[in-house]
Amino acid sequence: MNTDHNQSVITRIPPSPTGHLHFGTARTALFNYLFAKQQGGSMLFRSEDTDRARSQSVYEEEIIDGLHWLGIDWDNDQIIRQSERAAIYRKKLEHLLELDKAYESIEPSKQDPSRSVTVVRLRNPGTIITFKDLIRGEIRFDTTELGDFVIARAIDDALYHLTVVVDDAEMGVTHILRGEDHISNTPRQILLQEALGYTRPVYAHLPLILAPDRSKMSKRHGPVSIAEYREQGYLPETLVNYLALLGWNPGTDQEIFTLPELVEQFTITQIQKSGAIFDITKLKWLNKQHLAHRTQTEQVEYIVTGFTSAAPDIDQEKLEQIRRLAPTVLERAHTTSEIVEACRAGEYDFILNPKPLIANTLAWKNDPIPDAAKPRLAQLLSLLTDADFSSPDTIKAAIWPYVEATGKGEVLWPMRMALTGQERSPDPFTVAYALGQPITLERLQVAYDTLGG
């Protein structure tokens, strides 16, 4: 057992594999990771899987995968499972019984009062416990009101408070950073530490993550699992950055952080006591900032992922058009899920699902008849046949003198409608570049022919 507080800092992240990797659990893991790394220490991963009815290996795998995806790792990548440590807990229970610091009690089962069970209770000395929280300062408890609380359902079935106290001490955990909802657990665990002769670790209780209405964050406010945000297209560096800012303030105006920067700048004294308000607008903004730091190739493939999620059967020609349109899509969307929504709303139908052209839509609002657009379409065809299509700017340069001489609306409106069939779209130069010269000319010709002779 390693309990010397002059040693390297050791923190731990102890998720229960009874559900998905929650946003709050990920933040707790991040803060433990940052604190340990900054102190030159290490973090342990402990799967608290003693709830046999609810624990599932699929959840454990998701939690591990999610933390690794975020870039949060732990000592030797080792997985410690409480389900494999039952013999250790039994030995500690027997030791407490031998010392008469705990006793077996026969009492009615909570599940079936007609049946008796033998539980193990700690003899509570009823002392006043005071501990210093690194975030909240001194906290004081009168433990008398806790009574002789149950620490095992049976000699072979230790409960949460005993298992975590034994594990933390046996694994040399020096600092426990966890949510403030665990404050009420601390006096029970300190009583157990004292009964077992363990050195007390240092505690820091993190503020809760609150919804905008200051209620506790829940599914009714939106996604609460890391997997859901990952599916929506949030980048791992975005989530790490945002999780760090939920309750921690760097003390500067800096808002964009990489994980190494967080390790360097994180200080536990800058963690706030009050609840951290979840702000989806800020999260989206951060995703856009981090996406802007990715390479151009990565940005394009990110955009393509959004489109292929909306249209899995998309062909190669359209994929190339989307790649050319990527910078414009990137300006409009924060996440791949927003791209999917835009596709489903028909915003990019001019690529994904072009509609038949309707003649009377080609007329500009000042035109007396739709046919007025015909000579302008003819001139566009003439100017663009030999134009440089290497960028939206070169396309614009080819027709801009004509646009200025004739009128922006008069020329660009029928061009937009011919290329997209949509009243709202990216500018027609960008659309023409995305579609490519052959399809641009083909659609302008169709529009011209639609107006008749």
- pLDDT (0 to 100) of residue 220: 58
pLDDT tens for the 453 residues of the chain, in order: 333 444 699 999 999 999 999 999 999 999 999 999 999 999 999 999 988 788 899 999 999 999 999 999 998 889 999 999 999 999 999 999 999 999 999 999 888 888 999 999 999 999 999 999 999 999 999 999 999 999 999 999 999 999 999 999 999 999 999 999 999 999 999 999 999 999 999 999 999 998 888 877 665 556 689 999 999 999 999 999 999 999 999 999 999 999 999 999 999 999 999 999 999 999 999 999 999 999 999 999 999 999 999 999 999 999 999 999 999 999 999 999 999 999 999 999 999 999 888 888 888 887 777 788 999 999 999 999 999 999 999 999 999 999 999 999 999 999 999 999 998 899 999 999 999 999 999 999 999 999 875
* pLDDT per position as a tens digit, 315-342: 999 999 999 999 999 999 999 999 999 9
β-strand partners of 209: 276
Q: What are phi and psi of 131, to 5 degrees?
A: -140, 155
| 102-108: long-range contacts, CB 8 A cutoff, minimum separation 24 | 102/151, 102/195, 103/148, 104/155, 105/148
pLDDT attached to residue 224? 80
pLDDT of residue 212: 84
Local structure of residue 148 (DSSP, 8 states):
S
Q: Indicate the domain borders of the chain.
A: 219-292, 296-352, 359-450
Q: Is 356 helix (H, G, I), strand (E, B) or coil?
A: coil
| Residue of 231, 277, 334, 247 whose CA lies nearest to 21 | 231
Helices and strands: H and E segment counts in the chain = 18, 13
Residue 367: its pLDDT value, please?
Answer: 78
Length of the chain: 453
Q: Which two tokens stand for residue 80?
A: 């410690």
Q: Is 249 left (phi over 0), alpha (psi -120 to 50) or beta?
A: beta
Q: pTM here?
A: 0.90
Whole-angstrom distance, CA of residue 347 vs CA of residue 307: 12
CATH architecture of 359-450: Orthogonal Bundle (1.10)
We find that the CATH architecture of domain 219-292 is Orthogonal Bundle (1.10)
Token reading at 60? 């454990």
Query: Which of 169, 171, 176, 167 has the alpha carbon at shortest distance from 199?
Result: 169
**3-class SS of residue 8:** coil
Distance, CA of 361 to CA of 423 (rounded, Å): 9
Phi, psi of 365, deg, nearest 5 = -60, -25
Beta pairing partners, 106: 118
Instruction: Look at phi and psi of residue 100 and say left if phi exceeds 0, alpha if psi is from -120 to 50, else beta.
Output: left
